[in-house]
Amino acid sequence: MFGYIRIYKPQLRICEYETYRAVYCTLCRYLGKQMGFPARMLLNYDYTFMTMLMIAISGEKPCFKQGRCVVNPLKKCGNCSTNANAFQYTAALTGIMFYYKLKDNIADSSAGRKMLWRTLQPYASHIRKKAAKLYPEEDAMVSEYINRQFAAESKALEGGEIIIDELCQPTADVLSAFAERLSEKTSERIILKHFGYFMGRWIYMIDALDDLSDDIKDGSFNPLALKFGLTAEDVANRTDLFEKARIFGNDSLNMSVAEAVKYYELLDLGEFKPIADNVMYLGVSEAQRSALFPPEKRHRNSDKNQIITGVEGK
């Protein structure tokens, strides 16, 4: 995953931020423990949110204690001494997804970037094998997802109508399957399945929107660029067609997150709900704004920044 499902720190209470940070730091420890020190660099917010959901849904009371950061021993950080299954699961998924995402990057990128990504392949293969030993079914699921993604993108490149839903489908399906496995209760699994589907769709689209300009310049695959036939000239001149593609992407994101929130609200997240609310109602909206209008450009687009993004409030 890509790190878009994150908190909006200015609106979190200190105690809530410390709890979230402790989950983040503990996941970092598990990545290092399961797959070696360099794997800590794969840590991102998406897996932190997934870990937090898994802990909340399990009903097991987390126990946090103060510790020292392995990367920076002078820095204090929280450590969760319980809920080992949640951290082990998401750490393994991190390793598996990194390997297959790397394959996807190699397939989609320009010649220069392909060389860069290929230098990481031996290490990615190494950690994927470790993770796959723990969760072979998840490894098989992601492998199938990547194959389906390749097929959908190849079909799109062959010409004809570009159907965004078809391109989103593999990512939506694999996130749906992952989310469903966060609970053992049938009723919760159904809710999580739908929630994961729409968040997976959202992740695929926000990555496309966020990388739109760079992908066009580099000649990398981008569903929005392909659908609207965008060129480097459209990016340079910020043409009406380029703006139309961005608005289309934002509308698609709004639809996905609105559907995801319907299912999210059915989950009982206990003490983690204020943090999860912050992510779903503020963090997601801020991620969309950043994808549409990078912070350094927002003051230049004050009129266009009125576009509603995400689902704010309840």
Query: Per-residue pLDDT tens for 53-86?
Result: 999 999 888 888 887 777 777 778 888 888 999 9
pLDDT of 52-62, one tens digit each?
999 999 988 88
Give the pLDDT of residue 72.
73
Mean pLDDT of 261-282: 96
Q: What is the percent of the chain with per-residue pLDDT over 70, rounded to a whole number?
A: 91
In this predicted model, which residue has the larger pLDDT, 305 or 218?
218
At residue 24 the predicted structure's pLDDT band, cuts being 50, 70 and 90, is very high
SS3 48: helix
* Residue type (1 letter), 261: V
More confident residue, 120 or 177: 177
Spatial separation of the C-alpha atoms in residues 124 and 62, rounded to whole Å: 31
310: pLDDT confidence band, cut at 50, 70 and 90? low
pLDDT at 313: 52
- Looking at residue 104, its pLDDT comes to 75
pLDDT at 287: 94
**Greater pLDDT, 136 or 106:** 136
Mean pLDDT score across all residues of the chain: 88
**Three-state DSSP state, 7:** coil
Nearest to 248 by CA among 209, 210, 297, 274: 209
Q: Taking a C-beta distance cutoff of 8 angstroms, is the pair 261, 280 a contact?
A: yes
pLDDT surpassing 70 at residue 88: yes
Has residue 309 got a pLDDT over 60?
no
**pLDDT for the residue 113:** 74
Across 13-29, average pLDDT: 93
C-alpha distances out from residue 215 to 77, 109, 188, 279, Å: 37, 8, 38, 27
Nearest residue to 30 (alpha-carbon basis) of 89, 96, 102, 78: 89
- How many residues belong to the chain? 314
Look at residue 109 in the predicted model and tell me its pLDDT.
67
Q: State whether the Cα torsion 256-257-262-268 is positive or negative.
A: positive
Q: Yes or no: say if 165 and 227 are a contact pair by the CB < 8 Å rule.
A: no
In percent, the amount of the chain with pLDDT more than 90 equals 64
